[in-house]
């Protein structure tokens, strides 16, 4: 689980339990995105349809990532998706939106290093692992 451990460490997850929850939600979220029609492109479209195109655009672009609230995550992905991610991750549903609001911007940012959604639109865990090395360096400094 190197990628997940790296990302949760980079995000400064407090204790081991919190880090484990972040890793579990992150894995479930990656699977969710990869299963969506259009992959990440489909998720981007969902954000745009919910008035959050600028927010996800900042994650894809090369500037600073705009924050997102747990309520915005819930309304954009839908409660069914959040519940499914929670069930798959083994994390209480009321915590998943908050965790996603912390990890999803970083994940999308690192999945789009050239400021574009990759063809195929899915998350490639092996390529994300290398990209997260830079994130680790920024957090530890």
CATH at residue 97: 1.10.10.690
CA 132 to CA 23: how far, in whole Å? 14
Q: Over the chain, what HEC string results?
A: CHHHHHHHHHCCCCCHHHHHHHHHHHHHHHHHHHHCCCCHHHHHHHHHHCCCHHHHHHHHCCCCCCCCCHHHHHHHHCHHHHHHHHHHHCCCHHHHHHHHHHHHHHHHHHHCCCCCCCCCCCCCHHHHHHHHHHHHHHHHC
Per-residue pLDDT for 131 more than 50? no
Position with higher pLDDT, 126 vs 111: 111
pLDDT of residue 18: 62
Structural domain range at position 40: 2-140
pTM (predicted TM-score): 0.75
How many domains is the chain built from? 1
Tell me what pLDDT residue 67 has. Answer: 96
Q: What pLDDT score was predicted for residue 122? A: 65
pLDDT of residue 78: 93
Q: What is the pLDDT at residue 127?
A: 53
Mean pLDDT of the residues in the chain: 78
- Mean pLDDT score, 108-124: 77
- Note the pLDDT of residue 1: 42
Burial class (CB in 10 A: 0-12, 13-18, 19+), 129: middle
- Please compute the mean of the pLDDT values over residues 24-50 and round it to a whole number: 88
> Percent of the chain at pLDDT above 90?
38
More confident residue, 75 or 62: 75
């Amino acid at each position: 689980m190197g990628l997940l451990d790296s990302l949760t460490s980079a995000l400064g997850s407090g204790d081991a339990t919190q880090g484990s929850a972040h890793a579990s939600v992150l894995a479930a979220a990656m699977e969710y995105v990869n299963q969506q029609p259009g992959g990440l492109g489909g998720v981007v479209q969902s954000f745009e349809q919910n008035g959050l195109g600028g927010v996800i655009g900042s994650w894809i672009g090369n500037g600073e990532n705009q924050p997102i609230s747990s309520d915005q995550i819930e309304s954009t992905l839908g409660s069914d998706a959040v519940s499914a991610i929670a069930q798959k991750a083994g994390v209480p549903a009321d915590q998943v939106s908050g965790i996603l609001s912390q990890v999803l911007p970083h994940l999308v940012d690192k999945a789009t290093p050239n400021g574009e959604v990759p063809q195929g639109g899915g998350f490639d865990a092996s390529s994300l692992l290398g990209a997260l090395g830079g994130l680790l360096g920024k957090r530890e400094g």
